[in-house]
Structure 1
Amino acid sequence: MNAQPTVTERTGRTGTPSVRKTYPVLEMTCAACAVSVESMLKHTPGVSDAGVNYANQQAWVEFNPKAVTQQDLQNAVRAIGYDLIIDAEDPQEVQAEARQRHYESLKKRTLWAGILSVPLVVIGMVFMDMPFANEIMLALSAPVVFGLGRSFFVNAWKQARHGKTNMDTLVALSTGIAFLFSTFNTVYPDFWHQRGIHPHVYFESAAVVITFILLGKLLEERAKSNTSSAIKKLMGLQAKTVRIVENDVESEIPVASVRVGQVIVVRPGEKIPVDGVVIAGSSFVDESMISGEAVPVEKKADQKVFAGTINQKGSFRFRAEKVGADTVLAQIIRMVQEAQGSKAPVQQLVDRIAGIFVPVVIGIALLTFIVWMLFGGENAFAQALLTSVTVLVIACPCALGLATPTAIMVGVGKGADNQILIKDAESLELGYRVNAVVLDKTGTITAGKPAVTDLDWQQPESTQLAAILYALENQSEHPLAEAVVDYLKGSVEKSVTLDHFQSLTGRGVTGRYEGIRYLIGNRHLLDEQGISVSLPVMQRAEQWQKEARTVVYFADEKTVLALIAIADPIKETSKAAIQTLKSRGIEVYMLTGDNPQTAGAVAQTVGLTDFRAEVMPSDKAEFVKDLQKQGKVVAMVGDGINDSQALAQADVSMAMGKGSDIAMDVARMTLITSDLGRIPKALELSRRTVRVIRQNLFWAFIYNLIGIPIAAGILYPISGFLLNPMLAGAAMALSSVSVVSNSLRLRTARL
């Protein structure tokens, strides 16, 4: 796959020729950042349209290359503190490296901020009267506020230059003013003593706010750190080199050099490099990444093979038909990228309201200062300064900033206790709204591995016959043979050696023991060898086939010795979990690449009426899209590479813990036990977590709604009460404690 962004030529909205490019964006830390970047791009001369996705940290820009260059776009974004990656050989890799460096830096800053804040809190709350307490706190808090928290001030300044604000603005203002006010009180305490006011300091408040906000950003970055790993692993499925045959001479070339029409050799265990058609030889190929089915598919002349699928024990040659970006695997990679990019940005409520809350608080602080200067009397300036600082301190976003991440942290921990790994906040925020669940069949509803369900001996079972059956299947290359071997492994006490073993492609295997010829295979093999099948055996086989089981016959030269049924067993918890979801009014669907007969049998067993069979990976994603167009909030549950597109497209995605690494990377939740009973628990956990978040935000806002007017001095004309900034700092701390305490209630919730 070419990592360069795609370029689409089109005519812009103004009628001028334009191109559309996608660029990775660096330094975005909240949804408000994405809005700022999008706004700057849209207002850049020569740009006709632009959009920024916070979820995948990318921007698309439609622009006239004659009027604006990529460097101009980059400079516009850099002006407000962000960056675009342009002209990189692998922009996704550059972005991943930059984000990893940012994450490591953020981790170190958060750790040091915590270390320095602990003694600050101890001195500020317990030993405030000790000698040189203020000076010690000044020395400890300065590196936290202006060193470790430097990014808040830099970003706030860059936003202010363009008339914009975000949460960084409020953090910078409240902590900066609290620090400077405290420094003034430490250096010139007599200014307040002469006016009969005790000069309080708020160094610990400024440092703790910085520490908490850094911690919140660290948790968010950690949740987003693996967003590109799924794409990398999908790309890893592609073969690096390919063995071609020209003029009966084999040679190895890079897969990127393969041309349509070339003949390619595939050996046992190799990945198939491109899409094509078999022209010689035969084998079984593991196509689970496309179909999701655990049983490898037999490939012989004139049958199609696909890039990324894995050859088993045979060898064959095929003619290349689709190469590069045209292969099925390349399309899966592209569709996963598009699906991840099409998700709505993570819109944390705190970030959405920051654009209103921040300027309102600043306005109230300024208005407070002006009103006190006009009507404050003899100590107008002192009272104006005190009240305006108190407003900024009490409006500090600590409780507001903690409202969501603390609930998410506890919710994620509660999920882990219930074998549900949750990777991001968006899944917890959306889960409670899910009203449609789409289930993959193989590996999700079923165990995902063929197993013997019945072994019906047609004559008294003997240890010798079981040993012969075991020996035949142990030498067979057929994928179903492993199921029989696993079934017999504990019961065969003595091994036997077969003579004249032979594999018959598409029918079964034969071998001799003590002069008698034995065979195991399908009905075609028995008919070919002239072996009669009794009516009871025939009826039993037909019954098993109706139940979507594969029937295998074990026979000697004259008669059927045993009948074997093989199927992918349904998990014990699947039916109960599906019934629980349906009882909550949630629609449940099943999708599978398997045949309609098998799909119907499984659906009937677990109580499903709505299912789709023989669906390709793209069909699964389209099915999810169709449900979303109907206004449904869709949860997709799967375990295979073939499910990755649908998982990326769904509003909430869950992977089975024993599934493929790629499915687990794309999905935002992983069910460790592969138990479908965890799905209702995950949705219930989402409901409870969202309820706690709403409670936290309600109390955080009520606190500000009540506290800010009091801090501004609204009670002074009535009762003479003026809120001390120290009490404002304590109130701020108390609000944070109440938010954390409310979040911790999730630990005791019953799911």
Structure 2
Amino acid sequence: MKTQETQTHSVHDHDHCCSHDSPVVAKTASQNHQHDHSHDHDHDGHNHGESQNASILKSRWMLWLSLTILGGYLVTTFIFRQEINRVAEFVLMASAYILAGNKTVAAAFRRVGRGDFFNEFTLMTIATFGAFFIGEFSEGVAVMVFYEIGELIQDLAVSRSKKSIKALLDVRPDTVTVIRNGVNTQADPATVQVGETILVKAGEKVALDGVLTSLNGTFNTAALTGESKPDVKSRNQQVLAGMINTEKTVEIEVRALFKDSKLSRILEMVQEATARKAPTQLLISRLAKIYTPIVFLLSVLIILVPLFFVADYQFQQWLYRGMVFLVIACPCALTISIPLGYFGGIGLASRNGILIKGANFLDVITKIDTVVSDKTGTLTKGVFKVQKIETNLDPTDFLIKTASLESYSTHPVAKAIVKHDETLELLKPQDVEEISGHGLKGTVNTETVLAGNLKLLDKFSVSYPRELADIVETIVVVAINGTYAGYITIADEIKEDAAKTVSDLESLGIETIMLSGDKEAIVSQTARQLHIAHSFGNLLPEDKVRVVESLKNEGRKIAFIGDGVNDAPVIALSDLGIAMGGMGSDAAIETADIVIQNDQPSKIVSAIRAGKITKSIVYQNISLAMGVKVLVMVLGAGGVATLWEAVFADVGVALLAILNAFRIQGKKI
């Protein structure tokens, strides 16, 4: 955690223009540098209380009072042409300076005391002290006042840009109604155990993951998916923490602890998101360590070098030019607008149901030229239904044994078999083994049951009718005690937006390739429907890895999108891993760099657009800031620009960059 000092500050709640950390995670700050200001405007998600708010308000009133004094002085001297005694002028301006700049000056001395001489606070302090030294009292105050106003504007800008991310912290209820011994009891969600039943009234948020035990219910899923359309759930269907019950009181059986809920994992990933800086941010941070000492050195040279070349050298004149150069050189516009742009990009994506786990991935996604996609649950709904049961045994007995074994799998095909006839009383299998890319093996009622694809029967040397290989639909073959017993065919359905996703990616110059463990015939059929030119079927997880490695060796920038446990290795291998957050496995979600909350493949296109918008605006701000600063620095060194022009150029460029970064918030993707 950040080192806290005893004194509270307001406008400079952290090292402005140097580092703006994650809105909810402050832990990385201490890894980079110690902050000079004691609190973080509640940026770490904690409320520092009324005393902190009072301190912030007090500091802002001091700033406005300083501005009022400066304004009154300027009106008196420049508009009404009234002269003020030099001593009175000094006292008046010194008072205004202390009101506005006391925290910046204190921060500068603390930094110098730690051996850090080249920083923004020291830069501003030297420039304004220099102005007082040569008698330009009002200009020294103006530099500090407008610098502080600029910092205040930047604080407000950062706060606003983080709202859509930080708002996620408000979706978890503090209390939950749990039914214990027939009595409704208010409890901390963290104390509720798996298997307990919670009561959720209309308008309340669901606190824990579970299954609906009431007949039905309607929920708003905006916190998880970015879309507020009602989601109707029936008994035994999954309900997730963060959903809002919109109609009637419902009961939910808890299936995951508070810390293990999908929402908790989302929040943890959001907390880490803005801590991962983009290469552009890291580059600017590295350059700042070089840039600031160079600026100080150039300022000193501007002051001293003319001594040897200018005949009528006047120290005060060249000192003034050096101070102007220092003020103009302040890198605020760059160091605030760049992270602000990335915060805006992450926020834009999150409002659209896309969780981007770090600013660096906003950069990566703009370079993708190939999207490799899993089929089942990604481009297809993964909601399978049993179409045909063919067996030489009693159909009911065959289905009971198969469904009992499949009940231990989370695969969509397995779920379809289990749900086909929910009136059946399933048995408890023993010694269940999931054979990756093949299927399941286990003991059901003392009999050894195999259920999976044809490769599973081949692996265990079970003979079967060879015509099964000609069946196009998804097929689950079953063997009992080493003998072929029958098969079940399953049908899947292509997602409504899958074809448009492929088309939109193509329009962006991005090729789509589909990989699947399903039979080649099914994969090819789906690929033809989606107009995907290249597809591969009959793949084991290691086969998918080999395909992606081959594509990367061709120099392609790969984004892989999947949802299953078997997709986790290839998600990790790709340049950008994308997981479906609704149906996706924990392993895929944890491994992925981007999570699509509502399982719509079209969100991939939205994420790419968010990345391109962010990159464009960030580079616009870099060009704007560098261009204007270089121009005004040259004018300042040449004696054309004054301290007044320097401060307005600095604050003005920063404000323009902030306003430009705000444009991200209004974009549609």
TM-score normalised according to structure 2 size: 0.57
| Structure 1 CA distance for aligned equivalents of residues 375 and 95 of structure 2 | 67
1:428 and 2:342 aligned: no
The one-letter code matched in structure 2 to 1:110 is D
Q: Is the 8 A contact 2:386 2:416 kept in 1?
A: no
Query: Which residue pairs with 1:407 in the alignment?
Result: 341
Query: Which residue pairs with 1:648 in the alignment?
Result: 572
Flag the structure with larger Rg: 1
| Structure 2 CA distance for aligned equivalents of residues 140 and 383 of structure 1 | 26
1:479-522 Cα distance to aligned partner (Å, 9 max, x none): 56742453455xx7xx8999xx96854379xxxxxxxxxxxxx9
Give the 3-state SS of the residue equivalent to 2:377 in structure 1: helix
Give the superposition deviation at 1:140.
Answer: 6.0
Note the 1:388-467 alignment, pairs <5 A.
388-448=322-382, 451-454=384-387
Q: Is the 8 A contact 2:109 2:122 kept in 1?
A: no
Query: Which residue pairs with 2:659 in the alignment?
Result: 741
Give the 3-state SS of the residue equivalent to 1:546 in structure 2: coil
* Change over 3 Å in CA distance of 1:211–1:737 after alignment to 2: closer
**Match 1:728 to one of 646, 653, 661:** 646
**Match 2:301 to one of 367, 375, 384:** 367
The one-letter code matched in structure 1 to 2:527 is A
| Structure 2 CA distance for aligned equivalents of residues 441 and 497 of structure 1 | 30
1:28-65 Cα distance to aligned partner (Å, 9 max, x none): x9xx99xxxxxxxxxxxxxxxxxxxxxxxxxxxxxxxx
Give the 3-state SS of the residue equivalent to 2:578 in structure 1: strand
Identity of aligned residues (%): 24
Query: Which residue pairs with 1:687 in the alignment?
Result: 612
Query: Which residue pairs with 2:40 in the alignment?
Result: 110
Give the superposition deviation at 1:397.
Answer: 0.3
Give the 3-state SS of the residue equivalent to 2:556 in structure 1: coil
* Change over 3 Å in CA distance of 1:206–1:145 after alignment to 2: farther
1:588 and 2:521 aligned: no
Query: Which residue pairs with 1:603 in the alignment?
Result: 527
Give the 3-state SS of the residue equivalent to 1:110 in structure 2: coil
1:166-216 Cα distance to aligned partner (Å, 9 max, x none): xxx35254234235446xx3xx78x458xxx86545334555677899999
Give the 3-state SS of the residue equivalent to 1:673 in structure 2: coil
Q: Is the 8 A contact 1:362 1:392 kept in 2?
A: yes
Give the 3-state SS of the residue equivalent to 2:489 in structure 1: strand
Query: Which residue pairs with 2:64 in the alignment?
Result: 122
Note the 1:689-704 alignment, pairs <5 A.
689-704=614-629
* Change over 3 Å in CA distance of 1:633–1:198 after alignment to 2: closer
| Structure 2 CA distance for aligned equivalents of residues 144 and 731 of structure 1 | 20
Give the superposition deviation at 1:687.
Answer: 1.6
Give the superposition deviation at 1:626.
Answer: 3.6
Give the superposition deviation at 1:697.
Answer: 1.0
Query: Which residue pairs with 1:548 in the alignment?
Result: 474
Give the superposition deviation at 1:567.
Answer: 4.0
The one-letter code matched in structure 2 to 1:677 is S
1:600-630 Cα distance to aligned partner (Å, 9 max, x none): 4443443333234455555545544443332
**Match 1:178 to one of 127, 141, 161:** 127
The one-letter code matched in structure 2 to 1:177 is I
Structure 1 window deviating more from structure 2 (614-623 vs 655-664): it is 614-623
The one-letter code matched in structure 1 to 2:314 is A
1:326-383 Cα distance to aligned partner (Å, 9 max, x none): xxxxxxxxxxxxxxxxx99666452465476445533432332125556778882222
Q: Is the 8 A contact 1:173 1:392 kept in 2?
A: no
Structure 1 window deviating more from structure 2 (572-581 vs 385-394): it is 572-581
* Change over 3 Å in CA distance of 1:207–1:714 after alignment to 2: closer
1:392-421 Cα distance to aligned partner (Å, 9 max, x none): 111110011123222212222221222112
The one-letter code matched in structure 2 to 1:638 is G
Q: Is the 8 A contact 2:579 2:589 kept in 1?
A: yes
Q: Is the 8 A contact 2:107 2:121 kept in 1?
A: no
**Match 1:660 to one of 579, 585, 598:** 585
Query: Which residue pairs with 1:247 in the alignment?
Result: none
Superposition CA RMSD, Å: 5.1
Note the 1:282-361 alignment, pairs <5 A.
348-351=282-285, 353-354=287-288, 357-358=291-292, 360-361=294-295
1:437-479 Cα distance to aligned partner (Å, 9 max, x none): 1213343223446x21536999xxxxxx999999887766665
Give the 3-state SS of the residue equivalent to 1:746 in structure 2: helix
* Change over 3 Å in CA distance of 1:452–1:155 after alignment to 2: farther
Query: Which residue pairs with 1:572 in the alignment?
Result: 496
Q: Is the 8 A contact 2:130 2:319 kept in 1?
A: no
| Structure 1 CA distance for aligned equivalents of residues 504 and 511 of structure 2 | 11
Give the 3-state SS of the residue equivalent to 1:632 in structure 2: coil
Give the superposition deviation at 1:217.
Answer: 11
Query: Which residue pairs with 1:506 in the alignment?
Result: 449
| Structure 1 CA distance for aligned equivalents of residues 573 and 426 of structure 2 | 53
1:385 and 2:327 aligned: no
Q: Is the 8 A contact 1:455 1:565 kept in 2?
A: yes
| Structure 1 CA distance for aligned equivalents of residues 356 and 27 of structure 2 | 24
The one-letter code matched in structure 2 to 1:486 is K
| Structure 2 CA distance for aligned equivalents of residues 476 and 632 of structure 1 | 41
| Structure 2 CA distance for aligned equivalents of residues 523 and 615 of structure 1 | 16
Give the superposition deviation at 1:667.
Answer: 2.5
1:669 and 2:594 aligned: yes
| Structure 2 CA distance for aligned equivalents of residues 746 and 367 of structure 1 | 41
Could you list the runs of 5+ residues in structure 2 that have no partner in the other structure?
A: 1-14, 20-24, 42-51, 73-90, 164-276, 428-443, 480-484
Query: Which residue pairs with 2:637 in the alignment?
Result: 712
| Structure 1 CA distance for aligned equivalents of residues 586 and 108 of structure 2 | 36
Give the 3-state SS of the residue equivalent to 2:385 in structure 1: strand
| Structure 1 CA distance for aligned equivalents of residues 575 and 506 of structure 2 | 19
Q: Is the 8 A contact 1:655 1:663 kept in 2?
A: yes
Q: Is the 8 A contact 2:472 2:519 kept in 1?
A: no
Give the superposition deviation at 1:676.
Answer: 0.6
Note the 1:121-200 alignment, pairs <5 A.
121-128=63-70, 134-135=94-95, 137-138=97-98, 141-147=101-107, 150=110, 154=114, 156-157=116-117, 169-178=118-127, 180-181=129-130, 185=132, 191-192=135-136, 200=141
Q: Is the 8 A contact 2:161 2:665 kept in 1?
A: no
* Change over 3 Å in CA distance of 1:416–1:126 after alignment to 2: farther
TM-score normalised according to structure 1 size: 0.51
Give the 3-state SS of the residue equivalent to 1:731 in structure 2: helix
* Change over 3 Å in CA distance of 1:745–1:140 after alignment to 2: closer
| Structure 2 CA distance for aligned equivalents of residues 126 and 141 of structure 1 | 14
Give the 3-state SS of the residue equivalent to 1:444 in structure 2: coil
